[in-house]
Structure 1
């Protein structure tokens, strides 16, 4: 038996006049490998200038068949192994992933994401830049990186900071999981369709005589409910607490607030990497004033520091992945251990670029 190749993990085909991308690594919930990033990038670049292709649609498959799982993120076990081995492919992964995120956000043709099932981390990276973001009753959206001692990357600073009010800080720090309607309320999805209707919509793309890209997007949009209902969170409380100047004040205020929401939120934050919580708050606030390319360059600096400020097993990210996905003891040994122990200098180090501007790995992004 040969191991499956990257080509089978990403199926890129033209159906009718639509470029169709299927993420086909169901055993790993379509987690992105470097080879998958390259295959998606290659297809998008080829179709960008192909007059036959009017639009692009992307989906995932689950173990039973099409749809049901979109993408659970980057391949964190690879991050762990590569960081411990000093494998330079780890650096390539993030450079190429963020370049792909930028390509999707700036793609000149409609790019339509069918965000059925789990859409987390890197899955958000390849869907938030879509011109039409479609969710179902099975959708579960999140940027849960603080759970593994990382930060919401793949442009997370950019798209979370543009959520209403201080919702971006809340979602970035807690990794709270959103269903379809909450994702729409947060501005992270555009329309809802029942998952049972996705196969019919997908099949219709090959058979419908579209005249241009806009008509492909209109056709997909015509199948959606776009009614937005308020999110299932206490927005005045989120704005009050998550606008506070720093993380110590946020946690102190939550722990002094007598509500189920405040208690649950404080308990969640106490489990996350204290250092990375401080870094993430700074990231979201800086990103609010940045364009996409500058945000991705900042995140590229940050992710380099996640693995190099403290090399190997001393990295918060390597320790977080170990606890969650490798040893699975769910007992990460964070350093510093408490939110109150993190110093401003420890946070500031993540925002100093290790590269001169003309040598930055993402210097070419517009």
Structure 2
């Protein structure tokens, strides 16, 4: 069996470059618990190794950086122990979020090559990196409403920091965005043409890295800037979020979540992107739409540490409820796209049920020590 994550250290002109390659192209590099632990172990080792100056994270194959978490394994854990505890799923979330937090707070430069599909857990990895590159083929989405989950892996942080109501809209609709949108929304730092990847790696290996993180962040920016600003770097795709930001803000300016859902589901447009966003919410779980929206509201002023603590609580409660298992069954297992959601429309969801998802299911939060 090939390694699920290729972990290696390569010598640069001075200093070394840590390399992490998600290596499961047949699953679009979807994250498993094993992969999370391999990434975490390497980050821990390299944090204390003065010879490793910077880190590059990428994915095997041409299709995806990472399509998310291994949802089939989460489904098996959730459906296998109805009502919980769901040992695998809950362990996965706690360790994945710990790894995400480490990425966000890591002192050394971490360069992410976010090419192709970047969804769910893959976006969690990319969002935490300090130097995030997107290409003309990048397609980003947080489609959790379609499987009755929520935009986790720090989504409660980065969605709340997006312009206007764009984060709320993307979370509720599962709408996908491209490289232009990622730059506008703060999910990426640079656009570099996909065919420049080998040259970018070669340039990073040609750097004489310094002995402190501030110097090495500057050297990283200097190296990547040459590519992102180069003539003939490639053409950014047409923006989707920025041109519709005024519309998105109006759609999300409802009296309550039910009004917002009504407004989005009533979109009358010939625009393909907006129509697909509308259809994503129409298809999605109306129970999930409510816990998604409440999670964003409750974390709007939270610290990054608090965000992950609140996410692991919500994720644990969702795994113990049948809505998630049904969402995965309909979309990814039976693929009939006919989920038997608990509630057909949002106003039928009891408020006390939503409250339960925001109540701690254990005496101590597993991320209390972050």
Asked if TM exceeds 0.5, the reply is yes
- Which whole-Å CA distance do the structure 2 matches of 1:49 and 1:257 have between them? 52
1:344 aligns with 2:351: yes
Q: Is the 8 A contact 1:184 1:228 kept in 2?
A: no
- Which whole-Å CA distance do the structure 2 matches of 1:91 and 1:255 have between them? 33
> Residue in 1 aligned with 2:92?
93
> Residue in 2 aligned with 1:151?
150
Q: What 5-or-longer segments of structure 1 have no aligned partner?
A: none
Q: How far did residue 182 of structure 1 move? A: 1.3
> Residue in 2 aligned with 1:80?
75
> Residue in 1 aligned with 2:284?
272
- Which whole-Å CA distance do the structure 2 matches of 1:330 and 1:42 have between them? 38
Q: How far did residue 259 of structure 1 move? A: 3.7
1:14 aligns with 2:9: yes
Q: Is the 8 A contact 1:147 1:273 kept in 2?
A: yes
> Residue in 2 aligned with 1:162?
161
Q: Is the 8 A contact 1:115 1:136 kept in 2?
A: yes
Q: How far did residue 218 of structure 1 move? A: 2.7
Q: How many residues align?
A: 349
- Which whole-Å CA distance do the structure 1 matches of 2:188 and 2:116 have between them? 13
- Which whole-Å CA distance do the structure 2 matches of 1:343 and 1:256 have between them? 23
Q: Is the 8 A contact 2:327 2:339 kept in 1?
A: yes
Q: Is the 8 A contact 2:89 2:319 kept in 1?
A: no
- Which whole-Å CA distance do the structure 1 matches of 2:182 and 2:255 have between them? 26
> Residue in 2 aligned with 1:218?
222
- Which whole-Å CA distance do the structure 1 matches of 2:238 and 2:302 have between them? 27
Q: What 5-or-longer segments of structure 2 have no aligned partner?
A: none
5 Å-filtered alignment, 1:188-337, equals 188-211=187-210, 212-214=215-217, 215-225=219-229, 231-233=239-241, 234-254=244-264, 258-260=268-270, 265-308=277-320, 310=321, 315-337=322-344
In the superposition, the TM-score normalised over structure 1's length comes to 0.90
Q: Which has the higher contact order (CA 8 A, sep 6+)?
A: 2
Q: How far did residue 255 of structure 1 move? A: 5.1
- Which whole-Å CA distance do the structure 2 matches of 1:144 and 1:98 have between them? 18
DSSP-derived class of the 1:22 partner: strand
| C-alpha distance 26-264 of structure 1, shift in aligned 2 (>3 A) | closer
DSSP-derived class of the 1:169 partner: helix
1:108 aligns with 2:107: yes
Q: Which deviates more from structure 2 when the two are superposed, residues 163-172 or residues 209-218? A: 209-218
Q: Is the 8 A contact 2:173 2:278 kept in 1?
A: no
> Residue in 2 aligned with 1:24?
23
**How big is each residue's C-alpha offset from its partner over 1:117-175, in whole Å with a ceiling of 9 and x where there is no partner?**
11100001111011111000010011111111110010111101100000010011111
Q: Is the 8 A contact 2:175 2:277 kept in 1?
A: no
